[in-house]
Amino acid sequence: MSIKYLHTMVRVKDLDASIAFYKLLGLVERQRKESEQGRFTLVFLCPPDMADGHADVELTYNWDGDDGLPSDSRHFGHLAYTVPDIYEMCQTLMDAGVTINRPPRDGHMAFVRSPDNVSIELLQEGEPLAPQEPWASMENTGHW
């Protein structure tokens, strides 16, 4: 018996803000399903080169609200993505108002949080980049 990875589902409080955040990471919307009877919307996002049916993130938005969000979400763990230039990605996110919780001081790894407090790990593709400012001396903010 074999299994196949399908997706990771996260509940979101503000669908538009969450979609905008994941698009900053470079993901694209692959599919959207709305259920009038269930009163929810599902949005599947994935890296552009995986738009043939491999959904990495399923955003679940309950039309009638979800009072438990955003919670700490640490029970969930995190989503992880490799990026071609971790410094460029972190700068793009910072310029858009996203807090870099764990800066890429080592040129290899950073953590940020989505609008719904989901922890996102960013890893430098390939070898770590040489340490550079302002990242090398930037302190952690919050937790991841």
Catalytic status, residue 34: no
- Which residue in the list 121, 125, 127, 139 is annotated as catalytic? 121
Q: Is the peptide bond before 131 cis (omega within 30 degrees of 0)?
A: no
**Would you list the DSSP string of 56-79?**
SEEEEEETT--TT-S---TTT-EE
Sign of torsion over alpha carbons 104, 92, 20, 8: negative
Going from the C-alpha of 6 to that of each of 53, 55, 122, the distances in angstroms are 9, 6, 20
User: Which residues are marked as active site?
Assistant: 121
